[in-house]
């Protein structure tokens, strides 16, 4: 039983529901498996932990649906562990600055229901920032789901047309002004008109990145991923990200 507030944890979506992971060893295992499948001996080497110690954690993580275990296709004597859950959020320090920005933004629009409605996405992300919850992984997923719901409607005759359609859609939706820094590699810069916290800008930027990745996937048939990103500007109101076609990651 927890005796106080959780201040260092990660939240994962599994086939069994949400699982909160606060143990440092288990978080390290999940991070390593996010890169590739590993055996017990592999995990012992990369984590620096004894196999007997890891076995206890791994058994618990398999039962919780965080990871799976199966025979190595190249060596039936060896068991391999795979990540089968999705990280949604993690803890971070609460932000008083985010609270100030949220209240300032709401005060400016509260008398106008339409402007208040348009502000809701920002207020939700700022609210998570206030509470000390980093939701950038979930934001990326939600952006991808948003584009999925559009069903390829933003696909143009060329890559340039598709990117322009996605850029215009984002602006109408109030996700900020998107500009194309370069097409190869595809680099997008999102500018918000309001001052941001760095964590808030990162979450909103990941939403946009997930959205653009799925739009490009629908248009080209290639799987796209964000390969780099950064927040910049004195008010943290610029987010630059690069997306490129990548081989699809298949969970074993």
pLDDT digits (tens, 9 = 90+) for 105-155: 899 999 999 888 888 888 999 999 999 999 999 999 999 999 999 999 999
Contact 91, 7 (CB under 8 A): yes
CA atoms 24, 90, 199, 4: torsion sign: negative
pLDDT value of position 250: 46
CATH topology of domain 10-87: Arc Repressor Mutant, subunit A (1.10.10)
Domain 10-87 shares a fold with domain 94-245: no
Give the mean model confidence (pLDDT) for residues 209-222: 96
**CA atoms in the 13 A half-sphere facing the CB of 214:** 19
pLDDT value of position 122: 86
pLDDT value of position 6: 62
CATH topology of domain 94-245: Muramoyl-pentapeptide Carboxypeptidase; domain 2 (3.30.1380)
pLDDT at 38 over 60: yes
Which helix H or strand E contains 185, and what residues bound it?
Answer: none
pLDDT value of position 120: 87
Q: How confident is the model at residue 84 (pLDDT cuts 50, 70, 90)?
A: very high
pLDDT value of position 247: 82
Contact 181, 189 (CB under 8 A): yes
Give the model confidence (pLDDT) of 149-161 as tens digits.
999 999 999 999 9
pLDDT at 2 over 60: no
Report field, pTM of the whole predicted structure over 0.75 = yes
Domains of the chain, residue spans: 10-87, 94-245
Cα–Cα distance measured from residue 244 to residue 224, given in angstroms and rounded to the nearest whole number:
5
């Amino acid at each position: 039983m927890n005796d106080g507030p959780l201040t260092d944890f990660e939240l994962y979506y599994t086939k069994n529901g949400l699982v909160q992971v606060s143990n440092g060893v288990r978080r390290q295992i999940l991070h390593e498996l996010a890169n590739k499948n590993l055996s017990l001996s592999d995990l012992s080497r990369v984590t620096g932990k004894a196999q007997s110690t890891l076995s206890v954690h791994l058994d618990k993580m398999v039962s919780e649906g965080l990871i799976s275990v199966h025979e190595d296709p190249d060596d039936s004597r060896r068991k391999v562990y795979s990540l089968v859950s999705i990280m949604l959020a993690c803890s971070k320090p609460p932000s008083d600055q985010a609270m100030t920005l949220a209240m300032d933004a709401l005060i400016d629009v509260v008398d106008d229901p339409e402007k208040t409605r348009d502000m809701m996405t920002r207020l939700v992300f700022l609210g998570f920032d206030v509470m000390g919850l980093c939701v950038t992984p979930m934001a990326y997923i939600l952006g991808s789901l948003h584009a999925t719901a559009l069903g390829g409607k933003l696909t143009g005759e060329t890559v340039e047309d598709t990117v322009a359609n996605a850029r215009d859609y984002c602006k109408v939706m109030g996700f900020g002004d998107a500009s194309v820094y370069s097409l190869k590699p595809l680099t997008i810069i999102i500018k918000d008109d309001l001052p941001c916290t760095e964590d808030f800008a990162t979450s909103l930027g990941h939403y946009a990145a997930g959205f653009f990745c799925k739009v490009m996937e629908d248009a080209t048939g290639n799987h796209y991923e964000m390969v780099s990103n950064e927040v910049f500007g004195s008010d943290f109101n610029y987010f630059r990200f690069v997306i490129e076609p990548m081989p699809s990651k298949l969970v074993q």
